[in-house]
Structure 1
Amino acid sequence: MALETSTFGTDAWSVGMMRQDLELSHCHYLVAEPPDGGPLLGYAGLLSPRGAADADIQTIAVAPDARRNGLGRTLMTTLIAEATLRGAKRLFLEVRADNPGAQHLYETLDFLPIGVRRGYYQPDNVHAIVMRLDLPAGASS
């Protein structure tokens, strides 16, 4: 939760929201830990029921001192592979309209903007750009 609140500030998930997501069998989370056992370097979550056509990136966070080293890309490509393995055909995410760095990462992974959710991020009233990635045929279980 320390990384969640320091990364997302006013629109960070609550402990209850995070716990609920972690307990869902349809969710898959990754955690990047440093070798020395210090604070988390990053995490990312996917909501992807097996066999469902659509999956969603729930969240991704990378600690400031771990950014620009490919960790965010690694977390994303691992979640993309997991969604494909679970049989998803499309992967969606929302990204803050005021976060060009994240938008650029997603675009380099072939996500396309498909819409805007006005005032999605509260209480900051920041718009979300909805993005979609069409996935290759995978092995649904």
Structure 2
Amino acid sequence: MPRDARAAPGEDLLPVVAILKQAEAEFRRMQADDLDAVAALEAAAYDFPWTRAIFADCLRAGYECIVLVDADEVIGYGVLSTGAGEAHVLNVCVAPARHGHGLGRRIVRRLLDIARWHRAERVYLEVRPSNPRAIALYDSLGFNEFGRRPHYYPAKKGREDALVMAMELLPPSD
């Protein structure tokens, strides 16, 4: 390979550094002190974001709310409800600047672990048909399209359907 075609010194390590940096991010339970950061992240990521009050209601209701934190910065989160042998992924978000590094996968996997801990046998979620990256992620994790909810989401031009996806869970290995 000609010398000028190679990466600059250290440049070839950038993907490795990015992977290691992502591994430093840690999960913890969402707290009231996180609500401003979570709401700001939600507003940056979505055209029709949940409000801070909705996240506060989720905490009050006892939903499983987690944040993914890197160097004291909330870079992602997930919200899960559980009950009657089922779980429902209500919200998953990754900071737009952090897309493409597997963080969404980490968040969903953590939510699935929490669902298993609650002995859920099935997990549901809704996703916009206009979000092919999320659909591909959920499909790769074992979710299958289960149905459709017409006019479920607000959209720039009216309403958008929701694809309902479901996944059967194996019991936890105690």
Given the two structures, how large is their TM-score scaled by the length of structure 2? 0.72
Between structure 1 and structure 2, the one with the greater Rg is 2
- Partner secondary structure for residue 122 of structure 1: strand
CA distance in 1, matches of 2:155, 2:140: 29
Which residue number in structure 2 is paired with residue 98 of structure 1?
A: 130
User: Aligned runs of 1:1-141 on 2, under 5 Å?
Assistant: 1-9=39-47, 11-25=48-62, 27-35=63-71, 37-38=72-73, 40-49=74-83, 52-124=84-156, 125-138=159-172
Q: Tell me the number of residue pairs that the alignment of Structure 1 and Structure 2 aligns.
A: 134
Q: Per-residue deviation at 1:5?
A: 1.2
Stretches of 4+ moved more than 3 A in 1? none
Bigger RCO of structures 1 and 2 (CA < 8 A, at least 6 apart): 1
Q: Which runs of 5+ in 2 are unaligned?
A: 1-38
CA distance in 1, matches of 2:155, 2:50: 12
CA distance in 1, matches of 2:75, 2:108: 14
Amino acid at match of 1:72: G
Cα RMSD for the two superposed structures: 1.6
- Partner secondary structure for residue 33 of structure 1: strand
CA distance in 1, matches of 2:70, 2:96: 14
Which residue number in structure 1 is paired with residue 15 of structure 2?
A: none
Given the two structures, how large is their TM-score scaled by the length of structure 1? 0.89
Identity within the alignment, %: 31
